[in-house]
Each structure stands twice: as C-alpha cells, then as structure tokens.
Structure 1
C-alpha cells in the first residue's frame, strides 16, 4: 500500500466525515454522564486579537473554540451557548478593555488571550469580578495559582524547561550553546528556566543575547544582535520568540549567514509562520510544544480532521488549546447542574479530572495549569509541504 502524508490522511478522514468519530467518542460515555439539556443559554466571552500583528493567533483561538461547539450542537454542559468575542488588540490596555467589555455583557466565563504579557494587567479585573478566565496561549509563571485564572495551554517557561533538559543531554562537550530572547519578564523567565535546566555553570552554555520586546520588529531589528551572535561561535541557539517576531528573526538570521542549529518554543513555527519564513529558511528548526498535528490518538484524529475540513489548514497548538478550553468548560458547567454561576464554574474547573485531548491526556495541577506531555518537533518536508513533524516525547511537565 503506498504511503500517504499527514495532509492526505486528514483529507481522507475528512471525506469520511467527522460525525462518525464524534459518535464513536460519545459512545465511550455512559448515560449517567450525559448532560441534562436546558433551554437556559450560557454566555461565554472569548478574548482574541481581531486586528494587529497577533490576529493570526486570534483567528486560531476563535476557530478552535467554535469547532468544539459545532461538534457538540452549540452546547456546553447541556446549555445553548452565546459566544461573544472581543478584540484583544495588540497591547495590555486594549486586552483589559476587551475583558471589561465581556464582563459587562454578563459572561459566565472567559477564554482566549493570545499575548501572555497582557494577562498580568487583567488579574485584578478578573479576580474582582470572580469570573473564571481559561487562558489558551502561554501564561506567565507569576500567575500560577491565581484563584480565577486557569490555563488550558502552558506556562511560558515550559518549552525552555523541556528543551534545556533535552539539550544538556545531547550537545557534545565541544559545542557551545547561546540563548537569545526579549528583555521583558516573559523572556527573562524563559532564559532563567533554560539555564537552570541546562546547567547554569555548564561550560557549553555561553552568552545570552537580549533584544527589545516587540510583537512587530522591523526588517533590520535583529541584525546588530545577530552580528554579536555570529562572532560568539555558538553551534546551537535557543531563540525565545513567537509570532511575527519569530518570522522576522529567522529571515534576518538566514540572511546574515548564521548556520547554528536553532531550537525554539513551539510558537516559533506555529500557524502561518513556516509559510511566512519561507520553506528553505524554516527547514531544520527544532521546537518544543505540547501538541503536534500528527499525534496519533482518537481525540486528535477527530479534532485535526474536522479542523482541516473546516479551514483547509492543519491545526495549531493555539487552536487545540482553545478547543480544549471549550471541552473543559463543557465538563465544568455540566458538573454545576441547573443554572450555573461563575463562582460554581470556577469551583468545578478544579473537579473536571483528566481531559481526553488531541495533545494526549492531561489534567490541571494545583497551580491551575496543565500537567501534560511535551514533544520535540522539527520543520521538515511532510509529503509536499513543510510542517512541524513530531520526532519524540521530551518530558511531562506541570
């Protein structure tokens, strides 16, 4: 039988229809677990960039959440859903305004947020409103354990921890490792975690190079720092960037003629990043992520098939996390029984147990973030396209 690539396989599954997969998954639940249907709607607020440099991630967050609703008759916990979106914009001020708008509209729970740097500015608003926020992109380590803020994605420093532990075991003694990252709190936390897990005093670990934090760097933004990186003699580079900053970093990195092997967090090559970088520039980059579209489990076959059928794209980790956020809210609202309140939903989020997710089974830990597997991926040809291809499992964190 001839081999088919991941996209061809997903198209084949899509041709068969996702309904069959959904029926199979539903059959695993006993009748006792079926939600009691209600005519009382629940309003969920989704914070996502609809404009600006992070719009691509915002689209993924919306797409993932809406897909779960489509596969579940637009209900969560047996209640019809009114999904209200608000534009996160490009900075903390606009993100906070989006949250306040959704709270004023009576949202039972909030989800989304593409820019983790905006979460700290929302903390007091969320806690004061006593309405749970289920974040679906990275979250700062400083927000772990906050009563009304949960993460369905990961802590910002998790990929640094996963890669630091991995690289310390494979980099030869003769090679040197450099780190480059933005100077904001997220970047500094990531560098600290990488150095800690790699070994801060290890002779293989040389300089850390810092750049200004920005979501939209210019065409020469990285060049001065890359010049310093080039003269450092590094054989391996850990680059902590995501979104448009990652795309511009790779373009300038390649044009400067650097050839050290690049490792990065998963957001470095997510969504349209590979296409935006260019296949040749992106090829060979390694990333650590909690999801890969080619994971072979029943939940991912359902999700990835339905997502590609709907959007003609492979799903990203952000889309997957948003899909999972809907699944988590479905369970929590179901556990409330009757007409739920925001405080009841927040309490029940701690009781949802293990989640059968496209990423693999995970659950919330005590600080309200996922305990989950992390995977090593590499950008390489997958059939006729360049994709993040799963190589191995890195670690279980959380």
Structure 2
C-alpha cells in the first residue's frame, strides 16, 4: 500500500512539473523599431499582440512572454541580434522582419537552432526557396506573388508589350520576374527591363527611354520614398502609357503621392474596402486600439502570425517543445485572415488571393480578386 501511494504521489508531482513547464511561451520580436521601416515593424507587433489580447492574453492556455530586439534593418547585425533572442532570451518563437537581408540571417539562425520562425513581411524568395525549412513560415507574401498576379490583368486589358522598371536589387528583380513570367506565358512580351541602382531616384533618363519605346504598358516595383517620387515624376512627364505596379507602389505612400497616384492599378494580398465581417471587425478594433495608425497590410501580417502560432499551440495543448507536431499543425492550418482565407504550402508560404486595387483618394480600393489562391512556386525548396 505504501508503495502504491508513493507511486501516485510521484505521478502527481510529475504532472504538476509538466504544467509548471508550460507556464509561458516566449515570443521574440526581431523587427525595425527605428529608421525607415520603424512604422512597419511597430504595425507587425501591434497586429500580433492584438490577436493575443483578443484571446484573453493567452494562446492554448499559455501566457505569452515578449522579447524585443531592434534589428535596425541592418543585415550586418542580424545574426548577432537573432542570437540574442535565441540564446540569451531562449525564445520559443521568432517573429520578424521587414528587410529581406535581415530575414535571411534570421532564417539561418532559426534553422541552425531549431527555433520556429514566422516571417511577417520580408518577401525574398530564397527564404522559402533554397533556405526553406520545416521551422520557417511566412504570413506575408513573396515578391513574386503580387507581381505575377498583374500579368493576367495586363493581358485582359489587351496589352501586348510592356516595359518594366525597378531598382536593381533582390525585391525588385524578383517582382519583375513574377510579372514577366505570367505576362509572357499569356502571349505578352516584356520588350525592355529598365533598372537603376538602389536607392537612386533620378528617373528622368528612364522616363525618356519609356517615351521612346512606346510600350502598351509599364509595370513597376518601387516602395517607400522611391515609389512616391517615381509616381510623381511619371505623372509630371506627361506619359500616356498606363502604369501598373506591385501593391507596395501605393501602400503607405498615397498621402505623399497625392493627385499623381489617382486611378493607379496595383496588385497585393490586401486592399481597403474588402467589406467582409472579419476585415471590418479587424479594422474597427485596430483603429480603436491604435488610433494614430492605419489598419494596413503590415498589421494584418502580424495579426495572422498570431493566428498561425495559435493553431500550432492548440495542436500540442500549449506544449511548445513538441516542435514537430506543432509545425505540422501550422502547415496544415487554415487561417481566417482579414485578407480572406489563408492556407500554407509545403514550403511554409501563404496560399492566398491577390487583389486588384485602384487608388481612390488615400485608399487602395479592391476591384476584386486578380488571381485566386496563388501559391509561390518555392523554387529550390527541397522539402
């Protein structure tokens, strides 16, 4: 009898010990909190925390403990910054980042330490291509996705020839390849690829060349200040050739672009005015919680990172150490996103609708879905 009681007591102690071990899930944000992309990093964190708070501050019954590192959008500091979170803070989950060069280092550090990484913005194809790993997920986009979706739009409008324009860097090159792939598969022809060094904004020689080439349409990838100046310079040059872009051309830039952006068509995985119950609820809640920030695509990507983590934790009843089972559940998850239903490819990329948007005032209004359930090809991924 004494032995049986002792055995039961030991079992109870082990059970209590197991529950105690599940006290917190440690989430490390490695995002830009200073510099050009600071607002984007803050929006990602805001969206993630809002989702967790909507669940009562816990996921799968576990408290979430947060750690932060400002990655400064500096790839040279990225490995050390990632290791601060992985080794010093011993986070279970990494969330990051905006800059693709920083994200590449994050992915390598996460893979090397078997830490689950959710990429909430960076669009570099290599992250879920040659660098793909069961530990790496993305709740944003690949540079290829929005651009590929514009090819069919251009063809539907009867355009046969195109000129592409971007900076000569990874994001721009991958976007241009996406557009070229779908446009030429459908019978169109990109007659010239015009590029200038990043972050050069001396566009006049390129605009002169476009005028001489006389294509049916121009497709472009720019973001931030470069996008503002390109759209303004394009309008000021009086070019009549229609301008199409990957959605970052007009996301977060419309106030500065002003009248020169009105009517522009872009493609992206989110838009203003989707007018679905989920999106309306998200936008209302976000605007109330963060009155000085717009409920933008970056906030959505952070919110969905929270949803994806929740799907994984629920499958393991909060035991984040069951990494394989948790990641399998994350890959199999269907997320009810503000952008629409979201699933994941074997490579960990989002399979998602890409919207055709038109600028109206300071909004990118949805004109409908350009390509449904678009999956990045994840070229080079060996999973």
TM-score normalised by structure 1 residue count: 0.81
1:252 to 200, 216, 233: 233
Structure index of larger Rg: 2
- Identify the residue that residue 250 of structure 2 maps to in structure 1: 269
Count, aligned residues: 351
1:206 to 175, 188, 191: 191
1:77 to 28, 41, 60: 60
Q: Distance in 2 between matches of 1:202 and 1:351?
A: 35
The verdict on how the C-alpha distance between 1:335 and 1:203 changes in structure 2, with shifts beyond 3 A counting, is closer
- Identify the residue that residue 174 of structure 2 maps to in structure 1: 189
Equivalent pair of 1:328/1:349 in contact (CA under 8 Å): no
Whether 2:333 is the aligned partner of 1:353: answer yes
What are the within-5 Å matches in structure 2 for residues 332-351 of structure 1?
A: 332-341=312-321, 343-344=323-324, 347-351=327-331
Equivalent pair of 1:180/1:209 in contact (CA under 8 Å): yes
Whether 2:125 is the aligned partner of 1:149: answer no
Whether 2:106 is the aligned partner of 1:122: answer yes
The verdict on how the C-alpha distance between 1:221 and 1:59 changes in structure 2, with shifts beyond 3 A counting, is farther
Q: Distance in 1 between matches of 2:206 and 2:71?
A: 31
1:88 to 55, 71, 77: 71
- Identify the residue that residue 271 of structure 2 maps to in structure 1: 292
1:190 partner SS: helix
- Identify the residue that residue 394 of structure 1 maps to in structure 2: 370
Deviations 1:185-219 (A, max 9, x none): 332222222112101795653211011133xx5xx
The verdict on how the C-alpha distance between 1:181 and 1:132 changes in structure 2, with shifts beyond 3 A counting, is same
TM-score normalised by structure 2 residue count: 0.84
The verdict on how the C-alpha distance between 1:244 and 1:63 changes in structure 2, with shifts beyond 3 A counting, is farther
Equivalent pair of 1:53/1:244 in contact (CA under 8 Å): no
Q: Distance in 1 between matches of 2:85 and 2:57?
A: 19
Give the aligned CA root-mean-square deviation in angstroms: 2.4
2:97 to 101, 113, 116: 113
The verdict on how the C-alpha distance between 1:159 and 1:201 changes in structure 2, with shifts beyond 3 A counting, is closer
What are the within-5 Å matches in structure 2 for residues 1-398 of structure 1?
A: 40-103=23-86, 104-144=88-128, 145-173=132-160, 176-199=161-184, 202=187, 205-214=190-199, 217=200, 220-271=201-252, 273-277=253-257, 279-312=258-291, 313-341=293-321, 343-344=323-324, 347-381=327-361, 386-396=362-372, 397-398=374-375
Equivalent pair of 1:77/1:332 in contact (CA under 8 Å): no
Q: Distance in 2 between matches of 1:79 and 1:195?
A: 46
Equivalent pair of 1:376/1:390 in contact (CA under 8 Å): yes
Deviations 1:91-137 (A, max 9, x none): 32233333222112111101121122332233321111111111111
Equivalent pair of 1:238/1:264 in contact (CA under 8 Å): yes
Q: Return the offset for 1:153.
A: 1.1
Deviations 1:35-91 (A, max 9, x none): x99971211011221111112211221221122123222212221111222112133
List gaps (5 residues or longer) in structure 1: 1-35
Q: Distance in 1 between matches of 2:370 and 2:262?
A: 20
The verdict on how the C-alpha distance between 1:378 and 1:200 changes in structure 2, with shifts beyond 3 A counting, is same
Equivalent pair of 2:118/2:136 in contact (CA under 8 Å): yes
